[in-house]
Amino acid sequence: EDKVVQSPLSLVVHEGDTVTLNCSYEVTNFRSLLWYKQEKKAPTFLFMLTSSGIEKKSGRLSSILDKKELSSILNITATQTGDSAIYLCAVVRVQGAQKLVFGQGTRLTINP
Amino acid sequence: NAGVTQTPKFQVLKTGQSMTLQCAQDMNHEYMSWYRQDPGMGLRLIHYSVGAGITDQGEVPNGYNVSRSTTEDFPLRLLSAAPSQTSVYFCASSYSSTGGWTEAFFGQGTRLTVV
């Protein structure tokens, strides 16, 4: 059975801290891994990772995929209160059609 | 360009009632899908469609029905609502389901309560 596991499930830090969110997967026919940020409503796209070892960056956020370890991390540096959200990891598997398998999400809270 | 539009935003149903959640996208995406989100469980795939006239089941299809008569619309029907279907429902769409993946674009969600 396909599985995507995120850790920690919940994290509370102070503004300015650096955080690392983890995502590990056991998925057959892996194609890519995606990170989403979910505030009050719909998840919004952050990164898509297909190749191992290549870091994707956007401002204070960065992510990297390790296909050998079947995992990915999402780093956020110099956190701000606006980074408070649920961060979702999802893996694209291809078996006939492509499907997204989501992890449970990490709830990140940034305190001022 | 509205993206993915879901209606209604909120709904309360009585056990046994039926209803349809609407989803429409204006991006000419082939691939559309429905998810439900429950606390601590992430998003789980209910049904998906790779194009007009083609639908298939996801992880948790029981109690739900879908159809795809046009590229733009992908409604989700609850046949006989049960309290276990209380959840937040998201519709998503993306580009081609075969040649390559792009990120899924999500609707704003429907919060459904079954009493």
What is the rounded CA–CA span in Å between residue B107 and residue B58?
Answer: 18
Q: Are A79 and A65 in contact (CB under 8 A)?
A: no
Report the chain B residue with the minimal C-alpha distance to residue A35.
Answer: B103
**Is a pLDDT exceeding 80 seen at residue B22?**
yes
- Whether residue A4 lies within 8 A of chain B, CB to CB, comes out as yes
B92 CB neighbours in chain A (<8 A) are: 100
Instruction: With cut-offs at 50, 70 and 90, classify the pLDDT of residue B1.
Output: low
List, in order, residues 6 or more apart from B68 with CB less than 8 Å away: B32, B49, B51, B52, B53, B54, B55, B74
User: Does residue A8 have a cis bond before it (omega within 30 degrees)?
Assistant: yes
Among A32, A97, A103, beta carbon nearest to B48: A97
Rounded to an integer, what is the distance from CA B43 to the centroid of its chain? 11
pLDDT of residue B101: 59
* Residue A3: CA count within 13 A, CB half-sphere: 5
Q: What is the pLDDT of residues B68-115, one digit of tens each?
A: 999 999 999 999 999 999 999 999 998 764 545 567 889 999 999 999
SS (H, E, C) B44-71: EEEEEEEECCEEEECCCCCCEEECCCCC
pLDDT of residue A12: 98
Q: What is the pLDDT of residues B44-71, one digit of tens each?
A: 999 999 889 999 999 899 999 999 999 9
Name the DSSP class of B41.
Answer: S
B-facing residues of A in 31-70 (CB < 8 A) are 31-32, 34, 41-45, 48
To the nearest whole Å, the CA of B52 is away from the closest chain A CA by 14
**Is a pLDDT exceeding 90 seen at residue A31?**
no
Instruction: With cut-offs at 50, 70 and 90, classify the pLDDT of residue A57.
Output: very high
**Is a pLDDT exceeding 80 seen at residue A3?**
yes
Is pLDDT larger for residue B42 or for residue B38?
Answer: B38
